[in-house]
Amino acid sequence: MKIAVIAAQGDVEEHVVAANKALKKLGIEGKAFATIDKEEVAKSDAIILPGGESTTISKLIHKSSVAEEIKKAAREGKPVMGTCAGSILLAKHGDEEVRKTKTKLLELMDIWVKRNAFGRQRESFQIKLDIKGIGDFEAVFIRAPAILKVSSNVDILAKLDDYIVACQQDNILALSFHPELTDDTRIHEYFIKMAK
């Protein structure tokens, strides 16, 4: 199994390490690797879109034509996971800040997102979430977006207060937080199992 971690910006290496640990724990032959090459993305079995700054990531993935490969992979049923800013890019609908920054969304999930819903960098925090299918998970929020609402075809996996912070639509997974910044690989394992 080949897992492409889109190397536009953000916690790329941390996702590579977490996904490789998850593959090993599951006993699955494969490799997670960092790339922004559209051919490598096209040949992958699953794609991770890390956090960072959504406007910058959007520009880089569209400039490199990786955006089209991500959309094509999602349409083909390959698992795609977006974390933090990556979850913003997966959405069909963004808030005023998304529109103001002219962030080009991939429009793969029937979700509405809000940038920086939990505050700026200094308001970062870690909290235990009860994630459907996973259980208790120590989630790291850094300038995190929130999912305001979802269509009926989207499964809500976790909420924090009134905000949705994890959801899944078929083969696509959106998380407001950073699972790669913990030693717990269960979310990456869950994601990898989606490709089986």
Q: Which residues are identified as catalytic?
A: 84, 178, 180
Cα-Cα end-to-end distance for the chain: 9
Tokens of 10: 């953000």
148: left (phi over 0), alpha (psi -120 to 50) or beta: alpha
CB atoms within 10 A of CB 38: 17
- Report yes or no: 126 and 136 within 8 Å, Cβ to Cβ: no
- Report yes or no: 131 and 117 within 8 Å, Cβ to Cβ: no
- Report yes or no: 128 and 152 within 8 Å, Cβ to Cβ: no
SS3 of 141, please?
strand
